[in-house]
Amino acid sequence: MSILESDIQYLGGVGPKRAALLKSELGVNTIGDLLRIYPFRYIDRSRILRIADIAGDSVFVQVNARVVSRTLFGANSSIINIDPAKPQWGAVKRMSVIVEDDSGQMEMVFFKGIRWNWQKLAPGSVFVFFGKPAIFNGKLNMVHPEVDAPLPEGALLSSGFTGVYPSTEKLKNGGITGKLMCKLQSGAISLGLKEIKETLPEYILKENALCPLQYAIKNIHFPASQYALQKAIRRLKFEELFLLQLSLLKQKYIQSRSHKGLPMPKVGPAFNAVYNTLPFALTGAQKRVIREIFEDMKSGHQMNRLLQGDVGSGKTIVALLSALIAIDNGYQACLMAPTEVLAQQHFASISKFLAGGSVKCALLTGSSTAKERGEIDAGLKDGSIGIIVGTHALIEENVIFKNLGFAIIDEQQRFGVDQRSKLWTKRSDGAYPHVLVMTATPIPRTLAMTLYGDLDVSVIDELPPGRKPVKTIALSNSRMPAVYRFMRDQIALGRQVFVVYPLIFESEKLDLGNLELGYEEIVKRFPLPDYKVAIVHGQQLSEVKKFNMAAFVEGRANILVSTTVIEVGVDVPNASVMVIDSAQRFGLSQLHQLRGRVGRGADESYCLLVYDFKVSKEARERLQLMCSTNDGFEIAEEDMKMRGPGDLEGTAQSGLPIKLSIASLAKDGIMLSEARAYAERVLSADPTLEDPRNALLVIELRKGKYEIKDYSKIS
């Protein structure tokens, strides 16, 4: 067995207990795993500073200083004098050590290991102290510094860069400190470096000016210089991003070749009847996307395409026109939405466009009656229903199509992989329907290239003409009286208002405005009979929610008080004001989605972001960005920079479907694009990686690390 495959407990300094911690906390099972845990930053230990030159806000520094005095403190900062004959260390809570060099003095503070440090740090002794300085009560100090013996006269300092590794409280409490991690990595490199095998072919290293893997691993942990560190980082990041994109693109190639497509070469009367009677002109972006979709449908290969479009960009009409191409070629189409509200809205919108034509559209949801289901089942089987709109009800086994050829999934991230895949079993001839997945959540380009790397991506990056941007204003909750006046003025003009709260019921942990109290306050401020207030939240019965939502959609209610259940899909053109309470608690993408519920009509629209006066600096930056732009893609990019990529798909999505060890989707976008382009180049020359030169790539892909196990596995 290779040393790299040896259990981590057999590495010097580990043992069974620490091995269990490394396994549970960092996923480190072997010595090879440990070497792939990289520092996330580096500390420069090449310099020793004079105490007089240290600032309280410095990151990490080291000083060479002599111990002047040491003092022990008990509870309430009382001084304790230790009796050497009967030491009572249990009463000691803190130790203060005053040290000095020729420029000044500073304090070293210890709350742990006091007895050991007391014996070591005798007055007059000299040590190198390393840590993060701070100012406390006007004095410079360092809490729990690392303490090392001074270098011998004339000895050289280290190359300077000490890695700081990921850690947890459990690791620290188990004795696995940053210092020990460096020691363990040193031991792992001594034992295993020579056994590390190259993962990239020689020609890829040469064409991309990448250093060998052994060099990269050694210098990522213990850089010989700044230059060596940068070479190591570039090699490891490129390898990770390149293999990820190679895996995704190879899946895409196999899928396009192995899945029999349904050729749909013509545009006929169903498409033309709707296109020629549209009450508006399509944008250039919409026309471009329809052309991209039609090219896929003609190709004879199954289409797997992601349609991205900001709120209000006109994705639904693009999806409908594409579905009508399928109908013109003798097939049926379906549109699956995550909620009944959204399904009903799509059905109403599509029915309006199809009115007076020959294409029949039906709606199937959990609320459909037995009679309606019977008629729909018959219409799908005999082909008289051309387009079916529905929720999860579409994937039930008893829903049978005569000839399903085109499947649209809206807000597809809200469906599980298994749910989506059931749609593709609706054909019995082994062919797959063309697939169009849509999202109104703008996704940063780098994230889309990863989450949806094996899909073709179309983007509607142009809003319909005449659509006015929503005016967004952030204001403190002390301004609520002015907000209420503004709401009254808008209602007097015949407009409607959304008021969104982050919670349903009062929480002891979070001091936020909430739906329960907010609804009471709104009703008090906007009483009957002059005003009608509706309320919607996720814990209501479906019938109650539907009734209240309908009251607002149909204009019978002036104000809708809600949680974020209205984030996606509610289309009320007459609503011109969105008030978001405790806006500092929402992420950028969620704020943008909520804002998209207004500005859907011809009237000037407003989004009021009401924040708590205690708002943090990060939250204030988010709110300022919301006020400065209506561009969802710009917001999504900034959101990823601020929060990282893990939570951009909504509150339920806790992380990416693949773990990146060193590369960052938020920071390494340029390298990701380069890696993808190079992966395309490799596959264009050798689509199945059968060339002996690519044998190493096949080995790496077989390990399964780079398989995306969610999101885009849609067929």
Q: What is the pLDDT of residue 423?
A: 67
Q: What is the pLDDT of residue 257?
A: 67
Indicate the pLDDT class of residue 203, thresholds 50, 70 and 90: very high
Report whether 267 contacts 328 (CB < 8 A): yes
Closest CA to 129 of 141, 137, 139, 138: 141
Indicate the pLDDT class of residue 367, thresholds 50, 70 and 90: confident
Tell me: pLDDT of 683 over 50. yes
Task: Name the β-bridge partners of 464.
Answer: none
Q: Which residue has the higher pLDDT, 540 or 645?
A: 540
- 308-323: per-residue pLDDT in tens? 887 778 899 999 999 9
Q: What is the pLDDT of residue 666?
A: 67
∠ CA(540), CA(542), CA(546), 5° rounding?
A: 100
Instruction: In whole angstroms, give the CA distance from residue 493 to residue 532.
Output: 15
Domain ranges (residues) in the chain:
3-43+169-195, 49-157, 269-460, 471-629
CB atoms closer than 10 angstroms to residue 265: 12
Report whether 682 contacts 694 (CB < 8 A): yes
Mean predicted confidence (pLDDT) in 489-512: 78
Mean predicted confidence (pLDDT) in 31-60: 86
H or E stretch at 486: helix 480-492
Taking the CA of residue 461 as centre, how many other CA atoms within 13 Å lie in the half-sphere pointing to its CB? 8
Q: What is the pLDDT of residue 518?
A: 87
Q: Cα dist. 366→213, 338, 339 in Å?
A: 56, 12, 10
Report whether 20 contacts 11 (CB < 8 A): no
Tell me: pLDDT of 173 over 70. yes
Report whether 596 contacts 532 (CB < 8 A): no
Measured torsion, CA atoms of residues 633, 638, 643, 646, in degrees rounded to the nearest 10? 30
Least confidently predicted of 79-88, 159-168, 431-440, 447-456: 447-456
- Cβ contacts of residue 203 below 8 Å, gap of 6+? 693
Closest CA to 477 of 620, 608, 597: 608
Tell me: pLDDT of 451 over 70. no
Indicate the pLDDT class of residue 76, thresholds 50, 70 and 90: confident
Q: Is 576 helix (H, G, I), strand (E, B) or coil?
A: strand
Q: What is the pLDDT of residue 37?
A: 94
Q: Is 425 helix (H, G, I), strand (E, B) or coil?
A: helix
Q: What is the pLDDT of residue 596?
A: 85
Mean predicted confidence (pLDDT) in 214-239: 94
Least confidently predicted of 332-346, 446-460, 481-495: 446-460
Indicate if the alpha-carbon torsion angle 578, 583, 586, 591 is positive or negative.
Answer: positive
Indicate left, alpha or beta for 27 from its phi (over 0: left) and psi (-120 to 50: alpha).
left
pTM of model > 0.85: no
- 99-117: per-residue pLDDT in tens? 999 999 999 999 988 888 9
Q: What letter represents residue 77's amino acid?
A: S
Q: Cα dist. 259→68, 650, 713 in Å?
A: 78, 31, 13
Q: Is 117 helix (H, G, I), strand (E, B) or coil?
A: helix
Indicate the pLDDT class of residue 44, thresholds 50, 70 and 90: confident
Query: What's the CATH class of domain 49-157?
Result: mainly beta
Tell me: pLDDT of 529 over 80. yes
- 616-643: per-residue pLDDT in tens? 888 888 899 999 988 887 787 777 777 6
- 123-155: per-residue pLDDT in tens? 999 999 988 899 888 889 999 998 888 866 655
Give the phi and the psi of residue 264 in degrees, each rounded to 5: -130, 85
Q: What is the pLDDT of residue 647?
A: 44
Residue 642 in tokens? 């601020």
Burial of 35 (0-12, 13-18, 19+ CB in 10 A): buried
- 558-579: per-residue pLDDT in tens? 999 988 776 555 678 899 999 9
Tell me: pLDDT of 512 over 60. no
Report whether 610 contacts 580 (CB < 8 A): yes
Q: Cα dist. 49→107, 130, 187, 223 in Å?
A: 15, 10, 30, 22
Report whether 411 contacts 569 (CB < 8 A): yes
Q: Which residue has the higher pLDDT, 594 or 431?
A: 594
Instruction: In whole angstroms, give the CA distance from residue 692 to residue 694.
Output: 5
Give the phi and the psi of residue 120 in degrees, each rounded to 5: -80, -45
Closest CA to 354 of 386, 313, 394: 386
Tell me: pLDDT of 258 over 70. no
Tell me: pLDDT of 507 over 80. no
Residue 307 in tokens? 């349609």
Indicate the pLDDT class of residue 511, thresholds 50, 70 and 90: very low
Tell me: pLDDT of 693 over 80. yes
Q: Which residue has the higher pLDDT, 517 or 105?
A: 105
Give the phi and the psi of residue 334 in degrees, each rounded to 5: -135, 155
Residue 65 in tokens? 């200083």
Q: Do the first three CATH levels of 49-157 and 471-629 match, i.e. the same topology?
A: no
Least confidently predicted of 29-38, 231-240, 399-408, 421-430: 421-430
In this structure, CATH architecture of domain 471-629? 3-Layer(aba) Sandwich (3.40)
Task: Name the β-bridge partners of 67.
Answer: 99
Q: What is the 3-state secondary structure (H, E, C) of 313-356?
A: CCHHHHHHHHHHHHHHCCCEEEEECCCHHHHHHHHHHHHHHHCC
What CATH fold (topology level) applies to the domain 269-460? Rossmann fold (3.40.50)
Residue 508 in tokens? 């002891």
In this structure, CATH architecture of domain 3-43+169-195? Orthogonal Bundle (1.10)
Mean predicted confidence (pLDDT) in 151-164: 64
Instruction: In whole angstroms, give the CA distance from residue 322 to residue 317.
Output: 8
Residue 468 in tokens? 């006015």
Q: Is 251 helix (H, G, I), strand (E, B) or coil?
A: helix
Least confidently predicted of 130-144, 177-191, 289-303, 430-444: 430-444
Q: What letter represents residue 428's amino acid?
A: S
Q: Is 137 helix (H, G, I), strand (E, B) or coil?
A: coil
Q: Cα dist. 647→279, 306, 387, 453, 640 in Å?
A: 38, 20, 34, 18, 8
Instruction: In whole angstroms, give the CA distance from residue 332 to residue 324.
Output: 9
Tell me: pLDDT of 508 over 70. no
Q: Which residue has the higher pLDDT, 695 or 590?
A: 695
Mean predicted confidence (pLDDT) in 472-481: 94
Q: Is 419 helix (H, G, I), strand (E, B) or coil?
A: helix
Taking the CA of residue 600 as centre, how many other CA atoms within 13 Å lie in the half-sphere pointing to its CB? 21
Q: For the chain, what's the residue count?
A: 715
Indicate the pLDDT class of residue 510, thresholds 50, 70 and 90: low
Burial of 530 (0-12, 13-18, 19+ CB in 10 A): exposed
User: Which segments within 540-628 are labelled E, that is strand?
Assistant: 559-562, 575-580, 606-611
Closest CA to 568 of 414, 699, 429: 414
Give me the residue label for tokens 């191409």: 325
Q: Which residue has the higher pLDDT, 406 or 507?
A: 406
Kindly state the percentage of the chain with pLDDT values over 90: 49
